[in-house]
A = this chain, B = another copy of it.
Amino acid sequence: MAMEEYLLRLRPFITVDLLWTRDTQHLLQLVFKQPGCLYCLDSSGTLINSIEFKKLLYQSFEKGKVNFVIGGPEGLPEALKCKGKLLSLSPLTFTHQMTRLILVEQIYRAAQIHKGTAYHK
């Protein structure tokens, strides 16, 4: 499945807004005005499995909106990394585009684990 298909299938349960900017100041403004939990995807972050990701996501939903930030080739600004919890999807380096797809698939997988479907085994 491609990104659009995951977003479409998630829509009845979870609304995912994708915001994109090349400008660091704009990124900081965008992130700091968002309410809710902040997770920064960073190579120095904690590695988690899909069950742990599901728990973290649904526990965070209880507090409101959940924000994930993916860096560009230079990584994330320190000002952001200090404010959020650092997570890593893998020790491998991925493209920004691939990281987005993996993240959205994990959100979809979390929703399926939450619903108890056979998608995740």
Contacts and interface: CB of A to CB of B under 8 A. Distances in A.
Is the contact region of chain A dominated by helix, strand, or loop, or is it mixed? loop
A54 to B, nearest CB: 10
Interface of A: 1, 47-50, 53, 73, 89-95, 97-98, 101-102, 105-106, 109, 120-121
Copies in the complex: 2
Contact of A109 (B53, B93, B101, B120): B93
Contacts of A73: 121
Given A47-B47, A73-B121, A102 B97 contact: no
Nearest to A2: B2
Contacts of A49: 91-93
Contacts of A95: 1, 105
